[in-house]
């Protein structure tokens, strides 16, 4: 990992922190081994989870995954063989379950069209991402999560959690665009999928436990002494 951050044109520079310091603090506060997508998780289960968690909580997505698992339906072939109504019933715990069922069918069809799961996930990272983005209902964030966690290939997930945490730290691009944030992270990090997966897991846990959208728990954050947003939070002011 690089020991210092680039501060090129268009980048925020309100913090003296380096990315290495941020990662070290996140590692000290959170254990990425508690992340739900471990290296041992079945790839298609990860793919299905990435679709099911859209616009809902992981708790709800996990309930739907458990129902699919109990029905022996966590494989592309099984998804395609199920009548749509049965698939909808299985994923009912998630919001927009009818839409999610159709998204799962579209993803399973793309896998089948590629010649199976191994062939699909065996595509080069850029080709796999492009193929995923052609699947109905899959956008950049979901595609990157699948490339990173299911295929084990570098694709940084620059989601709302990552943007919130680093924007509050005064780091990152002066932009709200997903692609800009992803490019910024990629520029700072070596192309190491395991590192990117662990860092993203740490960021999400930090955003949920400490750097929350509302009422952040700055008192329990090892970064608060260097975070330009911590005094704002203490004063009850709005945060980015």
- What are the pLDDT digits (tens) for 59-90? 999 999 999 999 999 999 999 999 999 999 99
DSSP structure string for the chain: --SS----TTB--S----HHHHHHHHHHH--GGG-SS-TTS-HHHHHHHHHHTTTS-HHHHHHHHHHHHHTT--SHHHHHHS-HHHHHHHTTTSTTHHHHHHHHHHHHHHHHHTTSHHHHHTS-HHHHHHHHHTSTT--HHHHHHIIIIIS--------HHHHHHHHHTT-SBS---HHHHHHHHHHHS-S-HHHHHHHHHHHHHHHHHTS-SSS--GGG-TTGGG-TTHHHHHTT----
Greater confidence (16 vs 148) lies with 148
- Is there a single domain that holds both residue 174 and residue 224? yes
39 band by pLDDT with thresholds 50, 70 and 90: low
Whether residue 53 is contained in a domain is answered as yes
Chain centroid, CA 21 distance in Å: 21
What pLDDT was estimated at residue 238?
Answer: 73
CA distance 185 to 171: 10
| The domain boundary residue, chosen from 102, 122, 150 | 150
The CATH number assigned to the domain holding 202 equals 1.10.1670.10
What pLDDT was estimated at residue 33?
Answer: 65
What pLDDT was estimated at residue 32?
Answer: 62
- Residue 42 reports pLDDT greater than 90: yes
Full domain range(s) for residue 165? 19-30+158-234
Write down the mean pLDDT value for the chain: 90
What pLDDT was estimated at residue 31?
Answer: 73
Whether residue 13 is contained in a domain is answered as no
What pLDDT was estimated at residue 6?
Answer: 36
| The domain boundary residue, chosen from 114, 130, 150 | 150
pLDDT digits (tens, 9 = 90+) for 84-140: 999 999 999 998 999 999 999 999 999 999 999 999 999 999 999 999 999 999 999
The total domain count for the chain is 2
Mean pLDDT of the region 197-213: 94
Report the b/e string of 35-53 with b at 16+ CB within 10 A. Answer: bebeeeeebbbbbbbbbbb
Whether residue 12 is contained in a domain is answered as no
Mean pLDDT of the region 152-159: 96
Whether residue 3 is contained in a domain is answered as no
What pLDDT was estimated at residue 4?
Answer: 33
204 band by pLDDT with thresholds 50, 70 and 90: very high
State which H helix or E strand residue 113 sits in.
helix 97-113
- Is there a single domain that holds both residue 118 and residue 175? no
Whether residue 11 is contained in a domain is answered as no
Whether residue 213 is contained in a domain is answered as yes
Whether residue 5 is contained in a domain is answered as no
What pLDDT was estimated at residue 173?
Answer: 94
CA distance 179 to 95: 26
What pLDDT was estimated at residue 34?
Answer: 62
| The domain boundary residue, chosen from 150, 185, 213 | 150
């Amino acid at each position: 990992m690089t020991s210092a951050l680039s501060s090129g044109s268009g980048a925020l520079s309100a913090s003296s922190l380096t990315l290495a310091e941020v990662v070290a603090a996140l590692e000290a506060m959170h254990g990425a081994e508690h992340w739900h997508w471990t290296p041992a998780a079945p790839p298609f289960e990860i793919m299905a989870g990435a679709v099911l968690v859209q616009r809902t909580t992981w708790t709800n997505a996990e309930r739907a995954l458990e129902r699919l698992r109990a029905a022996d339906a966590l494989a592309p072939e099984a998804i395609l063989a199920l009548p749509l109504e049965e698939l909808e019933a299985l994923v009912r715990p998630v919001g927009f379950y009818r839409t999610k069922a159709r998204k799962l069918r579209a993803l399973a069809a793309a896998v089948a069209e590629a010649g199976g799961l191994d062939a699909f996930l065996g595509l080069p990272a850029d080709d796999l991402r492009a193929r995923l983005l052609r699947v109905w209902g899959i956008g950049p964030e979901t595609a990157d999560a699948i490339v990173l966690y299911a295929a084990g290939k570098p694709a940084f997930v620059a989601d709302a959690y990552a943007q919130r945490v680093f924007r509050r730290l005064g780091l990152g691009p002066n932009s709200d665009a997903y692609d800009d944030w992803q490019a910024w992270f990629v520029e700072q990090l070596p192309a190491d999928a395991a590192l990117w997966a662990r860092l993203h897991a740490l960021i999400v846990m930090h955003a949920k436990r400490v750097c929350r959208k509302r009422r952040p728990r700055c008192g329990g954050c090892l970064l608060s002494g260097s975070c330009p947003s911590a005094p704002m939070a203490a004063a009850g002011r709005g945060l980015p």
